């Protein structure tokens, strides 16, 4: 919540309702406290608290969950927004071949085929992108189930997915994507699968899950792909392209459009197989569009069961470490 989409979301949510109780989950507590102070200065009637959590470290997730269960009785909504794209490499050959094809707009809107990343193993023995973008969040949800499952008053999970989520980059046999070169795309497809499976398993208990894509917004993640000055040079072309493709939201504020819209919806009325997309017109107007996810519920359930198996393994490992 201390930068990018997360920070913009916090600001917009307090504009929508300045009596909210927001809990900011951040790795860096000094940044978190600075954001908290700024939000309270703008919205003094709100309640804003912080919790330290690093979703790429399971010990941190378990500790944060323990603190949250001590401090709160329920959560109405959790935004699962943390994500990394480590050491992205631009495929120059694919870029230039795509520039002169009819798929140029699609290529720039989704980055399909353009980006590969170098992944690594975390201290927990997991692939870093998978643990950060998917599994750390999953463990957090599992720990907070007692605060989320209330059939009389539904709770909602809102995942930040991506238009870059590709079925072709995901495999149930290698769901951590240890053998591939597009772990980010794989992790976002895994997010889509997990959201569908969570609905299948928890809707009757009052917990609902949805996924969004913020579009191409300039944040620390996109600055990892190309440095800021390159984005500045590209901006005239991107602004022109926005008349033909709605994915170029460009600012974190615009990117949160779908996340804020979902905040106002009754979660039980939403389609669990739909991805909600932040979109911006060439003239800068924000709106919501939708996309049917390219997946089937059987695969989603199989993936969910694999995560439960991995959860059992890591809990044993963590307990041994604690002892």
157-185 pLDDT per residue, tens:
999 999 889 999 999 999 999 999 999 99
Q: What is the CATH number of the domain that holds 137?
A: 3.40.50.720
In a domain, 253, yes or no: yes
Q: Are 16 and 264 in contact (CB under 8 A)?
A: yes
* Per-residue CA distances from 128 to 125, 178, 222, 276, 287 (Å): 9, 10, 18, 26, 33
pLDDT on residue 219: 78
In a domain, 314, yes or no: yes
Phi-psi region of 232 (alpha: psi -120 to 50; beta: other; left: phi over 0): alpha
Average pLDDT, the chain: 90
In a domain, 87, yes or no: yes
Q: What is the mean pLDDT of residues 72-83?
A: 94
Domain count, the chain: 1
In a domain, 4, yes or no: no
**Catalytic residue chosen out of the listed positions 79, 184, 208, 304:** 184
235-279 pLDDT per residue, tens:
888 788 888 888 889 899 999 999 999 999 999 999 999 999 999
**Using 50, 70 and 90 to split pLDDT, how confident is the model at 93?**
low
Backbone angles phi, psi at 116, to 5 degrees: -120, 160
Q: What is the mean pLDDT of residues 16-23?
A: 93
- Catalytic annotation present for 223: no
pLDDT on residue 178: 95
**Using 50, 70 and 90 to split pLDDT, how confident is the model at 99?**
low
**Using 50, 70 and 90 to split pLDDT, how confident is the model at 92?**
low
In a domain, 277, yes or no: yes
CA–CA–CA angle 236, 258, 146 (5° rounding): 145
In a domain, 43, yes or no: no
What's the rounded Cα separation, in Å, for the pair 86 and 253? Answer: 24
Owner of token pair 């463990």: 139
What's the rounded Cα separation, in Å, for the pair 135 and 113? Answer: 25
**By residue range, what is the domain housing residue 134?**
53-322
103-153 pLDDT per residue, tens:
666 666 666 666 777 899 999 999 999 999 999 999 999 999 999 988 788
In a domain, 66, yes or no: yes
In this model, does residue 230 exceed pLDDT 90?
Answer: no
DSSP class of residue 181 equals: S
**Of residues 95 and 119, more confidently modeled:** 119
81: helix, coil or strand?
A: coil
What's the rounded Cα separation, in Å, for the pair 182 and 193? Answer: 17
Distance of CA 119 to the CA centre of its chain: 18
CB under 8 Å to 50, separation ≥6 — which residues? 23, 24, 25, 26, 29, 32, 33, 36
In a domain, 35, yes or no: no
In this model, does residue 102 exceed pLDDT 70?
Answer: no
In this model, does residue 323 exceed pLDDT 60?
Answer: no
Flag whether the pTM goes above 0.85: yes
């Amino acid at each position: 919540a201390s930068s990018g989409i997360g920070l913009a979301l916090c600001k917009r949510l307090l504009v929508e309702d300045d009596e909210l109780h927001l809990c900011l989950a951040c790795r860096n507590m000094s940044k978190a406290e600075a954001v908290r102070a700024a939000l309270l200065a703008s919205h003094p009637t709100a309640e804003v608290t912080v919790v330290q959590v690093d979703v790429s470290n399971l010990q941190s997730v378990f500790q944060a969950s323990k603190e949250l269960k001590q401090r709160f009785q329920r959560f109405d909504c959790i935004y699962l927004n943390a994500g990394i794209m480590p050491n992205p490499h631009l495929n120059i050959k694919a870029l230039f071949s795509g520039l002169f094809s009819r798929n140029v707009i699609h290529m720039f809107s989704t980055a399909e085929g353009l980006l590969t990343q170098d992944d690594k193993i975390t201290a927990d023995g997991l692939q870093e992108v998978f643990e950060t973008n998917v599994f750390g969040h999953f463990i957090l949800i599992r720990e907070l189930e007692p605060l989320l499952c209330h059939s009389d008053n539904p709770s909602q999970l809102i995942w930040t997915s991506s238009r870059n989520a590709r079925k072709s980059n995901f495999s149930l046999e290698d769901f951590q994507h240890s053998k591939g070169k597009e772990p980010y795309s794989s992790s976002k497809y895994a997010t889509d699968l997990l959201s569908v499976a969570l609905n299948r398993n928890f809707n009757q208990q009052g917990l609902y899950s949805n996924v969004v894509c913020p579009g191409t917004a300039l944040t620390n993640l996109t600055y990892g792909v190309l440095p800021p000055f390159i984005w500045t040079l590209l901006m005239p072309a991107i602004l022109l392209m926005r008349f033909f493709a709605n994915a170029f939201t460009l600012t974190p504020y615009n990117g949160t459009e779908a996340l804020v819209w979902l905040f106002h919806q009754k979660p039980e009325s939403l389609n669990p197989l739909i991805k909600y997309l932040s979109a911006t017109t060439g003239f800068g107007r924000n709106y919501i569009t939708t996309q049917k996810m390219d997946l089937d519920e059987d695969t989603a359930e199989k993936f969910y069961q694999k995560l439960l198996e991995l959860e059992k393994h890591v809990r044993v490992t963590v307990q041994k470490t604690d002892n």
